[in-house]
Structure 1
Amino acid sequence: MIKHIVLWKLKEHAEGADRASNAAKMKTMLDACADLVPGILKLEAVVAQPGLEATYDVVLYSEFADKAALDAYQNHPSHLALKPFFGAVREARQCMDYEI
C-alpha cells in the first residue's frame, strides 16, 4: 500500500477569492477525485479548522493499493485538471509518498 499525503498553504487572495473560499473549493475538487481509478483505498481532503493548530490550509490524505494505482490517479485527466487552479492559489506545497 502507498500513502500519499499533500499539504497546501494558500495565498491570502487568489483567483478572485479569499483563502477560506479557495480552501473550500479545493476540498470540493479533491473530494470529487475519490473514485477516479481502481485502487484508491481512501481519499480524505481536510481544511484547517479554527481553534486547532495548523500550519497549512488544506491537507489530502490518501491510500492506494500500489504504485500503479497512485500513478493512474496522478495521470488521470480529472486529477490533472485540478493543477492550474491549485497552482494559482497556493503559496506552498508539501508532499510525501511512502509504502507500507
Structure 2
Amino acid sequence: MIRHIVFFTAKDPAERDTIVEALAHLGEIPHSLAFEVVANAKLDPMGNEIDIVVYGEFADETALAAYKSHPVYDETTQRVRPMRELRHSADFRSTVG
C-alpha cells in the first residue's frame, strides 16, 4: 500500500476552510482506498506551521498515478495553488496493516 500525505500552509489563514473544502473534492477521485482532508489540530509543541493535511491510501503506484492524472486532481490543484503558501508531499510504501 502507498500512503500519500501532503501538507499545506495557507497564504491567508482566513482561507484555510476554503482550501480544505476545495481539497475535499479530491476524495471524489475513485482510486484511493482511504482519503481525508483535515485542518491541522496544531497540537505538537515543536511546531505548528502546517495548516492542512491531505491523507490518502492507494493500492500501488499505478493507483496513485491514476489519481494524480484524474481531471478533478488538476482542477483542484489549479483552484488551491493561488491560496497556498507551501506544499510538502510524501509518498511511501507502508509496512503497517
Please, what TM-score do these two structures have when normalized by structure 1? 0.79
C-alpha change, 1:35 and 1:89, in structure 2 (3 Å) is closer
Percent pairwise identity: 32
Matched length: 91
Amino acid at match of 1:52: L
Q: Give the 3-state SS of the residue equivalent to 1:9 in structure 2.
A: strand
Is residue 29 of structure 1 aligned with residue 22 of structure 2? yes
Query: Is residue 2–residue 97 contact of structure 1 (8 Å, CA) maintained in 2?
Result: yes
- Counterpart of 2:51 in structure 1 is 57
The CA RMSD measured in Å over matched residues stands at 1.6
> Once the 2 structures are TM-superposed, how far is the Cα of residue 31 of structure 1 from its aligned partner?
2.2
Structure with greater helix percent: 2
Q: Name the structure where strand makes up a greater proportion of residues.
A: 1
| TM-score, normalised via structure 2 length | 0.82
Question: Unaligned stretches of 5+ in structure 1?
Answer: 13-18
Structure 2 residue runs of 5 or longer lacking an equivalent are none
Displacement after TM superposition at 1:35 (Å): 3.8
